[in-house]
Amino acid sequence: MENSLEGSGERKLQCSDVSKCFQLLESILDGNNVPDSQEILKSKLAKCQPCFEHFHLEQAIKEVLRNKCTKHEVPSELVANIRQKIEEIK
Amino acid sequence: MSEVQRKKYTEQEKNKIFDGEFMPHIDSMYNFGYRLTFDEDDAKDLVQDTYLKAYRFINSFEQGTNAKAWLFRILKNSFINDYRKKSKQPSKVDYQEVETYYNSDDVDYSMTSDLRVDSVKDMLGDEISNALNSLAVDFRTVIILCDLEGFTYEEMAKILDIPIGTVRSRLHRARNLLKEKLRSYAQNMGYNTDEEG
Ligand SMILES: [Zn+2]
């Protein structure tokens, strides 16, 4: 996602309820079904600096994890072995 | 695996489910197995066992439902019940022990990290991977399920047989630990992270 809200001039520097906000932001980021998630996200990121920073950090970590930790090549014989064993128990 | 025995699939239907719904997840399954065991052969055994069980219990899988979550749950159970028992390297922390130890779904969200987005983006694959691998298996697992595989909290709760609140709190703790690791790597890379002391 683009970091479209540059500049922190308009944002408050203290979050009024850090646990509730961060939990909600993480739920949205993690793809859970949160009602009105886009509106919530937009308004929190626009109005609150700690929320803004937390969201973008979590998002960046999530992205590098996905890009760099999922590229294990499956050993070529594994699929063949599984199919052979299945034939045996059929 | 559900105790409810659904209608029996024909041989043809079984093959269709197995090839169409189970096999496409083999990459994710192997990655999960490898990140749990850190060993190629153990990961292969775990994945093979999982697919054999999946085939054997295929009648308890409802076609069209979330096959990936169903397979992950089998693999996770195989890891705990079979692999863990004969494992050469017993894990330091046990699955339920972690929860008893922390014993609460209350998580401190106020802990902020001075880790920078830029330094995270510049991390090498090895550093990210090592940071993830350094976490205790329960914490590693929730990060794998959530961040690598994209499961929702509800799906994770089913895969791990724990309440959603526990998924949430365990994930948050795992992320804090991971950030600590990444922060120390960032410091070694010479990034300014406002290190104290
Ligand atoms: Zn806030």
B82/B100 same-domain check? no
pLDDT < 50 regions, chain A: 1-5
B35 touches chain A (CB under 8 A): yes
pLDDT of residue B110: 62
Tell me how far apart the alpha carbons of residues B75 and A7 are, in angstroms, rounded to a whole number: 46
**Of the residues B65, B86, B107, which one is the last residue of a structural domain?**
B86
In this structure, the dihedral spanned by the alpha carbons of residues B86, B87, B89 and B92, taken in order and rounded to 10 degrees, is -90
> Do residues A58 and A25 touch, judged by C-beta distance below 8 A?
yes
Ligand 1 centroid–CA A48 distance in Å is: 5
| Residue B192, pLDDT score | 54
pLDDT tens digit string along A40-53?
999 999 999 999 99
Statement: residue B104 has pLDDT above 70: no
Residues B103 and B168 in one domain: yes
Residue B48 near chain A (CB below 8 Å): yes
> Using alpha carbons only, how large is chain B's radius of gyration in Å?
19
Q: Are residues B80 and B122 in the same domain?
A: no
For ligand 1, the distance from its centroid to the CA atom of residue A40, given in whole angstroms, is 11
Mark which residues 69-108 of B lie under 8 Å from A by CB.
Answer: 107
Higher-confidence residue of B107 and B55: namely B55
pLDDT band for B88, please (50, 70, 90 cuts): low
The CATH number assigned to the domain holding B64 equals 1.10.1740.10
pLDDT at B19 over 50: yes
Statement to judge: residues B78 and B101 lie in one domain? no
| Mean pLDDT in residue range B115-123 | 88
Which residues have CB atoms below 5 A from the ion given as ligand 1?
A 15, 21, 48, 51
Same domain (yes/no): B42, B80: yes
pLDDT at B175 over 50: yes
Q: In this predicted structure, which of B51-55, B79-83, B139-143 has the lowest mean pLDDT?
A: B79-83
Residues B101 and B184 in one domain: yes
Q: Look at residue B158 and tell me whether its pLDDT is greater than 50.
A: yes
Q: What is the pLDDT at residue A70?
A: 87
Do B108 and B49 reside in the same domain of the chain?
A: no
What share of residues in chain B are helix, strand, coil (percent, to 5)? 70, 0, 30
Inter-chain residue contact B27 with A72, CB threshold 8 Å:
yes
Distance in angstroms (rounded) separating the CA atoms of residues B165 and A87:
42
Find chain B residues with C-beta within 8 A of A66's C-beta. 147-148, 150
Q: What is the 3-state secondary structure (H, E, C) of B146-162?
A: HHHCCCCHHHHHHHHCC
Q: Tell me if chain B has a CB within 8 Å of the CB of A46.
A: no
B123 and B162 fall within a common domain: yes
Give the CATH number, domain containing residue B104: 1.10.10.10
pTM of the model: 0.86
Radius of gyration over alpha carbons of chain A, in Å? 21
Confidence of residue B139 (pLDDT cuts 50, 70, 90): very high
The CB density around residue A13, as the number of other CB atoms within 10 Å, is: 8
Q: pLDDT at residue B86 above 80?
A: no
A13 to chain B, any CB pair closer than 8 A? The answer is no
Task: State the distance from the centre of ligand 1 to the C-alpha of B116, rounded, in angstroms.
Answer: 18
| Boundaries of domain holding B19 | 11-86
- Region B32-58: mean pLDDT is 95
Q: Are residues B99 and B70 in the same domain?
A: no
The residues that bridge with A12 in the sheet, in sequence order, are A48
Among candidates B48, B110, B132 on the partner chain, residue whose Cβ is nearest the Cβ of A65: B132
Domain assignment present for B161: yes
**Confidence class of residue B64 from pLDDT cuts 50, 70 and 90?**
confident
Total of domains in chain B: 2
Residue B69 distance to chain A (closest CA, Å): 15
Restricting to B residues 119-158, those with a Cβ less than 8 Å away from any Cβ of A are 120-121, 123-125, 128-129, 132, 143-144, 146-148, 150, 152-154
| pLDDT reported for residue B105 | 53
pLDDT confidence band for B103 (50 / 70 / 90): very low
Residue after which a domain boundary falls, among B34, B56, B86: B86
The rounded distance, in Å, linking the Cα atoms of A21 and A43 is: 11
Nearest by CB: B30 against A58, A78, A90: A78
Sorted by sequence, the CB contacts under 8 Å of residue B160 that are 6+ apart come out as B76, B141, B142, B145, B167
Q: Do B23 and A79 touch (CB under 8 A)?
A: yes
ipTM of predicted complex: 0.87
Q: What is the mean pLDDT of chain B?
A: 85
How much is the pLDDT for B195? 47
Q: Which of A23, A53, A60 lies closest to B147 in space, CA to CA? A: A60
